[in-house]
Structure 1
Amino acid sequence: MTDTPHKGLTIRDVAEASGVSITTVSRYLNGRFESMSDNTRRKIGEVIEQLHYRPNPLAQGLKGNQTRMIAVIVVNISYPFCVSLIRALSNALSSSGYNLIVCETGGRGEREQDIIESLYAQRVDAMVIQTNGDNNLRLAHIATEMPVILVDRQFDIPEVTSVITNNEEVSFSLSTQLFQDGYHNILYVTEQVASISTRMERLTGYLQACEKNHRTPWIGWITRDDLTSIEHVARSVTERLHQGPLAVYTGNALLLEQLYPHLRALDLVIPHDLGIATFDEPDWIQLISPRITYIRQPIDDIGIWTAQRILSALKGEPLTPLAIHTIPSTIIPGAATALYRGN
């Protein structure tokens, strides 16, 4: 075997040859031998010697070799949440000399995988990602070499920290408020939940409010950009008008943006016949009347907290594995659900 280090060797290769996890090899390389048996320590050392593996100093987080680039991977770069998050991260990190590389996955797992691998190859210093959960194993591996923070969506990934809002709690509160405001039925509009934690949590909050208020859940399933599903949900509203005032509550503002013109075409009086509410604060909300009730997410706070944790991690303070940091959202009442308030 040659004494020249093998090019392209990764920490994963060492882990597989040693029969241990990537996390264990990472701890060995960083001199963290606590809870590591002498046999494991000796085996890893022998494999490193045999493979002539040389750790990339940048991947180990040595300050002098940082690229000063932070990757931000989002599902939809035009989504108001993502725009505000990117702005908040940029403002918080730029003063410390870091710049962002922003990428969009479109919610496609393969696209996300390609982006992750490309950014990893460029040796960014950290990753902030809004993931669909298709590449959690790879993110777990990367998180042993650089800070990785999940935003908006939560998955149990070793070595990764998540920052979210209180989706379930605030969705329950808004739904309960709509019932208390006098709406007999609430149509909750959502996309298919799949494994997306935010969708599940918001739906769960709505279902809990229905149970507490002894109301039958009413869910409208929409495929975004699918006109047939959007029109079907809008038509279903007319089927329950005889039961009294009803409200439509959408799980995010992108759904409301597509559904809203169809609701207004029903020629119902807002808020007396129909109340309208949404999760998220659409950028066009101030342009319509009556103003929609909405849930404002603490996006600036999420961005600032994320940036601070990344900076701390890059200075040597490790992220807490599997930690979840929750920042509460706020309900902003609007005239579009003011059935009795001020009417």
Structure 2
Amino acid sequence: MNKKITINEIAKSANVSKTTVSRFLNKKYENMSEATKTKIEETIKSYGYQPNRQAQTLKTNSSLTIGISVADLSNLYTSRLLKGISQAVLDTNYQLLIMDADNHIERELSNLQMLLNENVDGIILQPLSHLPAQYQLLTERNLPVIQVDRYVEPFTFPAVVSDNFQKSLEIADLIQAKSYEQVIVIANKISGISSRMNRFDGLSNALFDTSIAVTLIEIDLDDAWQTHLTSLIQKNIRSAIFALNGQVLWEVVRYLQTKHIQYPDDVGLIGYDDDNFADLIQPGISVIKQEPLQIGQSAADQLLSNLQNNAPLSIENMRIPATIELRESI
């Protein structure tokens, strides 16, 4: 059909008002019967009607876009997080504008400013810093913001995260039950990243009054961490490694294999795994399995509820439980 169909023609064919069709297109279904919704939907499909996005934006004073700022787009956790967000907005009129900070604070600030310049209706943020001052440009705008995976302190925006501290408490219990004498924590930079700080604090706090030593090794660009790790493992004490995210876990596995260090014989091993590969190698690796799909979807659902229904955003921290999957590595 070459002729461009208008909203007036959709309304006439469905035998409803233009206002009713407009409300349907904007997902405002209050006081609209299921029969009316079905009739409009079937009419739109039969005509192959596509709403004029620019006209909708002008009329509603809304860009119908949600901005997303992530720490590292190459991370598999982030891919699943974004999948959850996209699933939540799939049946809405909203489009996603995704920005990658690539783990650089300056780039994150530039990306956020760009999202504001694009007049996005709301932002989902995976912050690189835990300091509220870093995000003053967001607090100065009356714009709904929801954090995912991490959060600033004190809470400035609502957040949807894993139960990191609680899971590390459970790992500490496991370490004690398995009679390990030392835990070597391997992580990217911890300072400023709430998820990593909570994981380390949960473990170290739980083991503080025990005889079990806790040593933190932060992975840098050089290989010094590998030498440090080897020296600790070679001590004549029963040791376990706790990798604080999936990327670090596989860096550790790769290094142990190159040095012919066997787990669980030479060292115990447990870590976070968000790509579901830990059960594909032998011996199987014990992991904490997060729910990035659910985290992303929950955050997007909250933001959409605010944007579509004016539902208030309460400043709180929603924790999505992770699962410990025990295998032969520890």
Task: Return structure 1 stretches of 4+ with deviation > 4 angstroms.
Answer: none
Match of 1:112 in 2: 108
User: Of the candidates 299, 314, 318, which is equivalent to residue 312 of structure 2?
Assistant: 318
TM-fit CA distance, 1:250: 0.8
2:329 maps to 1:330? no
2:180 maps to 1:183? yes
2:301 match: secondary structure: helix
Q: 1:159 to 1:281 in 2, by over 3 A?
A: closer
Deviations 1:140-168 (A, max 9, x none): 123x2x21001111114676211112111
Q: Is the 8 A contact 2:160 2:320 kept in 1?
A: yes
Match of 2:14 in 1: none
Match of 1:91 in 2: 87
Match of 2:229 in 1: 234
TM-fit CA distance, 1:63: 8.1
User: Of the candidates 175, 187, 203, which is equivalent to residue 206 of structure 1?
Assistant: 203
Q: Percent identity?
A: 24
TM-score by length of 1: 0.73
Match of 2:219 in 1: 222
Alignment of 1:21-170 (within 5 A): 64-133=60-129, 135-142=134-141, 144=142, 146-156=143-153, 160-170=157-167
Deviations 1:14-60 (A, max 9, x none): xxxxxxxxxxxxxxxxxxxxxxxxxxxxxxxxxxxxxxxxxxxxxxx
Alignment of 1:264-283 (within 5 A): 264-283=257-276
Match of 1:305 in 2: 298
Q: CA RMSD in A?
A: 2.3
1:67 match: secondary structure: coil
Match of 1:5 in 2: none
Deviates more, 1:326-335 or 1:151-160: 151-160
Name the CA distance, whole Å, in 1 between partners of 2:223 and 2:70: 27
TM-fit CA distance, 1:62: 9.8
Number of residue-to-residue matches in the alignment: 271
TM-score by length of 2: 0.76
Deviations 1:160-207 (A, max 9, x none): 211112111101211321231232221111233222111211110110
Match of 1:33 in 2: none
Gaps of 5+ in 2: 1-56
Gaps of 5+ in 1: 1-60, 338-343
TM-fit CA distance, 1:324: 1.5
TM-fit CA distance, 1:74: 0.6
